[in-house]
Amino acid sequence: MERIEHDIVVIGSGLAGLRAALEASRVSHGRLDVGIVTKTQAMRSHSVAAEGGTAAVLYPDEGDSYDSHMWDTVKGSDFLADQDAVENFVHAAPEELRLLERWGLPWSRRADGRIAQRPFGGHEFPRATFAADKVGFLEMQTLYGAVQAFPNIHVHHEWYVTSLLKENGRFAGVTAINLKTGTLTVVHAKAGILATGGAGRIYGFTTNGHHSTADGLYMAYRAGLALKDLEFIQFHPTGLVPSGILITEASRGEGGYLLNIKGERFMKKYLPGKMELGPRDILSRSEIQEIREGRGFEGPHGAYVGLDLRHPGEKAIDERLPMVRELAEKYLGLDPIHEPIPVRPGQHYIMGGVSTNLHGETNVPGLYAVGEAACVTINGANRLGSNSLSECLVFGTATGLSAAAYAKKRGWPRGTAAKEALAKEEGRIFGGLMKHEVGKESVAAIRKEMQQIMDRDVGIFRDEKGLTDACAKLATLRQRFVDVGVADKDRVFNTELTQALELDFMLDVAQAIAWSALNRRGSRGAHSRTDHTTRDDANYLKHSLAYRGDGAPRIDYLPVTI
């Protein structure tokens, strides 16, 4: 067993985690020791996959306004966003983008030299700030470069956090496996920031990377915290078939069309005003409707619709969407200059997460959450495209400030709870899961069944029967997981063990998603019930809160801030 100490430990190294670590260091003038613990190499965090843009009001002199961005966000959320959070968000976002520019991010430019912005779904003004179609990678590169300037920030690459530690009800640190050695390590800290991203791999067809596995959500859930609004799962309308890789919304912002097998721009039937630039929930449902009514293309990997980029021309594509062309050519042998790209909706984002306030604070003193793992909430029932990267930056800053202020005032936790928790984790992982004989249950089989259940019954369209069935089947999978064994007994880079631990986390969070969806008997945003088709403000203009129980989660509710 190893033991290390940091004043603040950040769990996760995506945009939100890096921004929080930077702000905690800046505000403390480098006096606080900040540790970043990440299960990947930091620059492989899923934020690098973001392509299209980062929303902010940069040009009020040209007609945009904070009120407009706020209205678009609240309306896009189907009025479930907390409006104080949205107001805070839209006012803080522009300075975050300018700060990235000062740190060296090469934003795309207009002819007059000002930072370029393009249209994005659900926004009334072209406020998606971009760097070609590689904005996430370049933002990550910029922040990671900035981190290198702070000797007090220490990055622990390829460490897998397994649990949160509490001492007298306060955050006290984490347990983590150093994947390079297989050693279980205690990271003591005065404050902790959960920045572990989403949980896309709970679903089968997803734009998320393989390490988006609900780790932070589960650890908070297990520690007794509420997971807010988990039923709201965003499906991105343009997942590449069959891989699910994201084809950015910028492809539609740059003029791309969605076509059915008849060659029709079918969005004129569903959203004639916005067409392909409508909110993602509406576009995803429209695509599925076209497919269900027999107007989709049929292929060896199922039905799909076409994303047509032929009309913008080769020069525009190579300047604005080079990665889209590269992905289509690399994965399908298809050049979008000459033929449409096969796409269909794929799980993309979880609007819900660990319940926090505007400063990232949770109900456990000293524990914070930010980014996709958190729910502030500015996204409500449906997130607008390009708001998520701004959210990571804005609330990453706020959370870093808050955690630093807390850590400055707190002493080191010195009780025995951490030691006892470590012994429990050692027994659970190495004395339990690793020692199980490989039997009739496998990680791959249970994971595949979970994903099939979620795709089928907790997907774009839902009903009572399907959700009830999903809850029952997920509970059965949870029971079957007890018989999972790990064949590889070596501790060094044991990916089989890591996948087993990830599946353990995902099963609990999948149940929380399904039960939250079952209990919301009305449609709103990305939660579309075919048996309760109308939005029910009288009974469901409120946030759901899922708490972990012995069996099914307990579902509570919280008013929306209006």
Question: SS3 of 504, please?
Answer: helix
List, in sequence order, every beta strand (DSSP E) within 301-340: 302-308
Return all residues near 70 (Cβ < 8 A) that are at least 6 apart. 83, 86, 87, 90
**What does the alpha-carbon distance between residue 111 and residue 107 come to, in Å, rounded to a whole number?**
13
Respond yes or no: is residue 338 known to be catalytic. no
Tokens of 169: 């009800």
236, 285, 320, 532: which is the annotated catalytic residue? 236
| The residue type at 393 | L
Tokens of 552: 């099914």
Give φ, ψ of 292 to 5 degrees: -65, -30
The percent of the chain in helix, strand and coil, each rounded to the nearest 5, is 40, 20, 40
CB-side exposure of 92: number of CA atoms within 13 Å?
Answer: 18
Respond yes or no: is residue 252 known to be catalytic. yes
Give φ, ψ of 177 to 5 degrees: -95, 120
Concatenating the DSSP letter of every residue in 293-355 gives TT-SEEETTEEEEEEE-TTT-HHHHHHH-HHHHHHHHHHHS--TTTSPEEEEEEEEEES-EEE
CA–CA–CA angle 407, 413, 415 (5° rounding): 170
How many CB atoms are closer than 10 A to CB 126? 18
19, 211, 252, 383: which is the annotated catalytic residue? 252
Question: Residue 173's Cα: distance from chain center in Å?
Answer: 23
Give φ, ψ of 357 to 5 degrees: -95, -170
Q: Which residues of 302-341 are buried (b: 16+ CB within 10 A; e: fewer)?
A: ebbbbbbbeebeeeebeebbebbbebbeeebebebbeebb
Q: Which residue has the tokens 């606080």?
A: 32
Q: Assess contact for 337 and 315: CB atoms under 8 A.
A: no
Q: Which residue has the tokens 């595949």?
A: 448
**What does the alpha-carbon distance between residue 426 and residue 169 come to, in Å, rounded to a whole number?**
22
Question: SS3 of 498, please?
Answer: helix
Return all residues near 272 (Cβ < 8 A) that are at least 6 apart. none
Q: Which residue has the tokens 């027999």?
A: 294
Give φ, ψ of 422 to 5 degrees: -65, -45
**What does the alpha-carbon distance between residue 39 and residue 218 come to, in Å, rounded to a whole number?**
15
How much is the CA Rg of the chain, to the nearest whole Å? 23
Tokens of 118: 């393009």
Instruction: Enumerate the active-site residues.
Output: 236, 252
